[in-house]
Amino acid sequence: MELQQVWIILIAVLWMGYFVLEGFDFGVGVLLPVLGKNEQERRALLTTLGPVWDGNEVWLLVAGGATFAAFPEWYATLFSGFYLPLLLILVALILRGVAFEYRSKRSSPTWRKRWDAAIVVGSFTPALLWGVAFANIVRGVPMKAGGADNSLYDGGFFNLLNPYALVGGLTTLTLFMTHGAIFLALKTDGDIRVRANKLAAQIGLVATVIAVVFLLWTQLAYSDKAWTWALVVVAAVCWLAGLAMNRAGKEGWAFIFSAITLAGAVAYLFCVLYPNVMPASNDPALSLTIWNASSTDYTLKIMTIVAVIFTPIVLAYQSWTYWVFRKRVSPSQITDADHGSLDLPGESLKV
């Protein structure tokens, strides 16, 4: 196997990790006002993410960095081409990260309401836009030749808002929301756990319909490989198994299956694309592929050695974190939910 093939697999794996892990963070964020009926519940729900959300987001940063290192042409053309959607994603991630850390510091209802809005918008936007971005890549974008044999993005912002891409966005959004609800059913206790379980079943149905449309559309319109049908089937079966487990109240299994579905969906999109990483819709000669967008073998070799040594270590300690915080968080454990840790004396008494 060539190093370029190794690296496209590794980058796909990073995106799988990102969709599986930050996927439920996004879902929980979007569902915050739906499932969190009072302060106690909202804080319990956010506490399930507390120890892990930042580590989950690092998967994205590493995916970005790895793309820069392994496929600089792809990194350059994609990020400068999808400029405004990426800007929206960055703003959303900034707001959301700060909101997690700051919202419970003060008891003021206005303060908390605003940060809650930031969490919802900051989770909703990337959950939708990652799907839009990936769908556009799969669909192909107009490209033009630049100096030194580069392929540059040659469409505007509105070119990215096409029906197929919007279906892609709704797919990731609803899948993440379902995944988040399943996660909450697994990680909370009491009434909220029951409601999360029910909600997962409901959104799960909506997600099923949208995802089926997206997968069929992708397979029929954009895949030139018959064998990718196999992945469509695997993703669909896992998803339905996840929903069945959710219905049966087997939350751990439901989570595992929805995680496999998300990873499978990412794998599917990368397989449909292969060997392209950014196909040109106007002229196949302008497409970026793993061969013409990659770094030199020397760089890829160094990066492979580093990845082989350190990825298992990272996986080990990140998994350990989940084990450390394996206990469910129950709203009843959130004592003094209306209190902010940075309330000045007397402030928390005002309601």
Partner 1 sequence: MNALDLSRWQFAITTVYHFLFVPITIGTSFLVAGMQTAWYRTGNEKWLRATKFFGKLFLINFAMGVVTGIVQEFQFGMNWSDYSRFVGDIFGAPLAIEGLLAFFLESTFLGLWIFGWDRLPKKLHLATIWLAATGTLLSAYFILAANSFMQHPVGYELNPETQRAEMVDFGQVLLQPLTVITFSHVISTAFFVSGLFVAGVSGWLVFKKHSLEVSRATLKFGAITAIVGFLAVGLTGDFQARKMVEIQPMKMAAAEALWETAAPAPFSIFTIGTLDGSEPVFEITIPHGLSLLSDHSWDGQVEGINDLQAQYEQEFGPGEYAPNIPMAYWNFRLMMGFGFIGVLIAIWMLWATRKERIPQSKWFSRLAIFGIITPLLGASTGWIFTEMGRQPWVVFSLMFTENGVSPTVSVAQVLISMVVFTLLYGALAVVEVGLLMRAVKIGPPESVEQTYPDKVGEDRPLTVTY
Which residues from 151-170 bind partner 1, rule CB under 8 A? 152-154
Binding residues among 242-301 for partner 1 as defined by CB under 8 A: 295-296, 298-299
| Closest distance to partner 1 from the beta carbon of 42 (Å) | 9
Min CB(58)–partner 1 separation in Å: 4
110 binds partner 1 (CB under 8 A): no
57 within 8 A of 64, measured Cβ to Cβ:
no
Residue 187 is encoded by which pair of tokens? 């990680």
Q: Which residues does residue 143 pair with via DSSP β-bridges, in sequence order?
A: 153
Decide: 197 and 249 in contact? Cβ < 8 Å. yes
Q: Cite the beta strand spans of 49-196 per DSSP E.
A: 143-145, 151-153
> Please, what is the Cα angle at 207 between 206 and 213, to 5 degrees?
100
Gap between the Cα atoms of 52 and 189, Å rounded: 19
C-beta closer to partner 1: residue 22 or 218: 22
- Residue closer to partner 1 by CB (options 327, 350) is 327
Site for partner 1 in 14-73 (CB under 8 A): 43-44, 46-47, 49-55, 57-58, 60-62, 64-70, 72-73
Per-residue tokens: 34: 């739906």
Stretch that binds partner 1, among 132-140, 206-214, 218-226, 342-350 (CB under 8 A): 342-350
Q: Are 157 and 84 in contact (CB under 8 A)?
A: yes
Q: Taking contact as CB under 8 A, which single stretch among the options 26-34, 88-96, 173-181, 234-242 is the one that binds partner 1?
A: 88-96
Q: Which of 5, 38, 202, 341 binds partner 1 (CB under 8 A)?
A: 341
Q: Kindly tell me which residue out of 81, 140, 204, 264 binds partner 1, with binding defined by CB under 8 A.
A: 81
* Nearby residues of 77 by Cβ (< 8 Å), 6 or more positions away: 143, 150, 151, 152, 153, 278, 288, 293
Complex with partner 1: residue 229 or 310, whichever CB lies closer: 310
Nearest approach, Cβ of residue 114 and partner 1 (Å): 10
Among 227, 312, 326, 351, binds partner 1 (CB under 8 A): 326
* Cβ distance to partner 1 smaller for residue 215 or 293: 293
User: Which of 5, 87, 113, 230 is in the footprint of partner 1 by CB under 8 A?
Assistant: 87
- Give 86's Cβ-side CA count (13 Å radius): 12
In the complex, the smallest distance separating the C-beta of residue 218 from partner 1, rounded to whole angstroms, is 25
Nearest CB to partner 1, comparing residues 22 and 210: 22
Bridge partners for 329 per DSSP? 188
Nearer Cβ to partner 1 (161/248)? 161
Q: Tell me which of 9, 98, 236, 244 binds partner 1, using CB under 8 A.
A: 98
Minimum distance from residue 138 beta carbon to partner 1 (Å) = 20
Residues 305-324 that bind partner 1 (CB under 8 A): 306-307, 310-311, 314, 317-318, 321, 323-324
Question: How many residues line the site for partner 1 (CB under 8 A)?
Answer: 84
Q: Which is nearer to partner 1, 208 or 299 (CB)?
A: 299
Quickly list DSSP for 282-308: S-GGG-EETTTS---HHHHHHHHHHHH
**Tokens 């909600």 correspond to what residue?**
199
Residue 349's Cβ-count burial label (10 Å; 0-12, 13-18, 19+) is exposed
Phi and psi (nearest 5°) for 38? -140, 175
202 phi and psi angles, rounded to 5 deg: -70, -50
DSSP state of 149: G
Work out which of 103, 187, 193, 195 binds partner 1, going by CB under 8 A. Answer: 103
